[in-house]
Structure 1
Amino acid sequence: MMSINIVIAGPRGKMGSEAVQMVSRNKTFELAACIDRKNNGQTLNDLDGAPDLDVPIFDDPEQCFQKVDADVLIDLTVPGTGFEHTKAALLQGIRPVVGTSGFTNDQITELENLAAQNNIGCIIAPNFAVGAVLMMQFAKTAAKYLPDVEIIEKHHDQKLDAPSGTAVKTAQMMQETRESKQQGHPDEKEVMDGARGAETDGVHIHSVRLPGLMAHQEVDFGGPGQTLTIKHDSYNRASFMEGVKLSVNTVMSLNGLVYGLENILE
């Protein structure tokens, strides 16, 4: 079996460093290079705490993609950087696997068009945890029967975007099955701004940011005399790596953009 040559963006980040470990342990993956805004010209084994791998580091993604023989980019950075990296990869014929949440609809459309024009695979997943994807799918099913629903998502206090990409994606998926309606009392009034959270299509989304948390979401449904809670917890970043690995293998046979891990699960 041919090995898949991989570039990882953000190798010093918590998710990026987990991806470096995952790739280095996988016999069918080869870590070809890393993209990092610091440490240009160094190798991975020059960095404190990094694996002892003689892998070049670039600060310029275009230069990286031109100099290195790569099949796939794994990007687990932040929305602005991740968007530029993904665009550059698609233009160079490299298949992106992107776990950065917070892309706008316009950005996703632009990347979708680029992938189609270049006839190349791209996977963008707000959440790579398989359990989280199942939680979203179950919520989509439940919303057809219990349209009164709120989302509470909880993350560590270093997360930049709120609500999370997973919460936004969950609300979008529920819109496909849920009867559109406003919830709560028609004369409800927020005594403090934001008390009811964000709102999309009548669904309220609440974001919690605290140290000690990783990535957690519950979808609460209510009906006459009953409630249903669908809940998922990621306790460490290893929970995301099975989804990343699946995406790397799958993106090699795609010829367009797929948004959401649920679309590649059998």
Structure 2
Amino acid sequence: MISVAVLGAAGRMGTHVVNAVSGAEGLEVVAALDHGDDIAEAARAGATVAVDFTVPDVTEANVHALIDAGIHAVVGTTGWTQEALLRVDEHLRERPELGVLIAPNFALGAVLSMRFAAAAARYFESVEVIELHHPDKVDAPSGTALHTARAIAAARAEAGVAPSPDATTHDPDGARGAVIDGVHVHAVRLRGLVAHEEILLGNPGEQLSIRTDSFDRISFMPGVLLGVREVARHPGLTVGLDGYMSL
């Protein structure tokens, strides 16, 4: 039996996580913590794994506290910078037996889409990323879009692909979107959406579109449960659920 603490348990994602873990074989929720609760309560409750779906302002501090407490961490909160990831990686060197998974997206379709996009990107002249979310999301671009763009850029750099052609010289209002490692990323915030991403790849005379849609937050739960079950088997920092999948 894996004892699990849920951080951000009263939030939209946290509520789903509590229900999913409670209903899963071999897992049990021993602590459901939210804003103002002491993370030390997770250790006192006997948690061996904690799931963090809080907010970007506190998630890094939560992970460091969990490492200090000797608890594996599965993190779905986005907004991570490369510097913050490096700090977690360095901290884990003090506790080499612990695993931390930081996943930009737990939907299996999104994980596969990111991998498909990275594999395809070296074969296309142009590539852009569009991410679409509900208007209550606090960070933009999304963690999924950042992860997607960086993986695409790395694959193209490895293959020696030139930057996507773009004759734009005048864009005072930022209509061309953010540029992440040379890849344009566009963020849409619209009531009625949950979490969606489309990767557009183009060559002369053809276009490839890779799209993933999460219509309900329950779509993230299989990935969360996979992370909870696997994190102890993967010491150190892993960024992306694909690190736990046989891809």
Task: Give the TM-score normalised by structure 1.
Answer: 0.88
Partner of 2:8: 10
C-alpha distance in 1 between matches for 2:190 and 2:52: 25
1:163 alignment counterpart: 141
Q: Could you list the per-position Cα deviations for residues 115-169 of structure 1 after superposition, in whole angstroms to 9, with x for gaps in the alignment?
A: 2320111100000001001000000011110141010100000000000000000
Verify the 8 A CA contact 2:129 2:199 in the aligned structure 1.
yes
In the TM superposition, 1:56-205 aligns within 5 A as 59-61=37-39, 63-119=40-96, 120-178=98-156, 179-185=161-167, 187-190=168-171, 192-205=172-185
What is the rounded CA distance, in whole Å, between the counterparts of 1:18 and 1:112 in structure 2? Answer: 28
- Deviation of 1:66 after TM superposition, in Å, equals 4.1
Change (3 A) 1:66 1:136: closer
C-alpha distance after superposition, 1:152-207 (max 9, x if no partner): 1000000000000000000111122112415311x5322x5111100123321100
The unaligned stretches of length 5 or more in structure 2 are none
Q: d(CA) in 1 for partners of 2:180 and 2:15?
A: 34
| Bigger relative contact order, structure 1 or 2 (CA pairs below 8 A, ≥6 apart) | 2
Q: 1:47 — aligned with what? A: none
Larger Rg: 1
Match of 1:29 in 2: 27
Whether the 8 Å contact between 2:48 and 2:72 is mirrored in structure 1 is yes
Match of 1:242 in 2: 222
Structure-2 residue corresponding to 1:259: 239
Match of 2:197 among 209, 214, 217: 217
* Counterpart secondary structure, 2:46: coil
Deviates further, 195-204 or 152-161:
195-204
In 1, the alpha carbon distance for the partners of 2:232 and 2:189 equals 36
Q: Distance in 1 between matches of 2:125 and 2:103?
A: 25
Give the Å deviation of 1:17: 0.1
Looking at structure 2, the residues matched to 66 and 238 of structure 1 have their Cα atoms a distance apart, in angstroms, of: 27
Distance 1:164 1:35, change over 3 A: same
Alignment check: 8 A CA contact 1:112 1:257 kept: yes
Q: Percent identity?
A: 42
Deviations 1:82-128 (A, max 9, x none): 11111100111100000011111111111112223201111000000
The CA deviation string for residues 35-71 of structure 1, in whole angstroms up to 9 with x for no partner, is: 2125xxxxxxxxxxxxxxxxxxxx111x314422110
Q: 4+ residue stretches of structure 1 with deviation over 3 A?
A: none
Length-normalised TM-score, structure 2: 0.94
The CA RMSD measured in Å over matched residues stands at 1.2
Distance 1:265 1:146 in 2: 26
CA distance in structure 2 between the partners assigned to 1:83 and 1:142 by the alignment: 33
CA distance in 2, matches of 1:215, 1:180: 30
Q: 1: distance between equivalents of 2:125 and 2:108?
A: 24
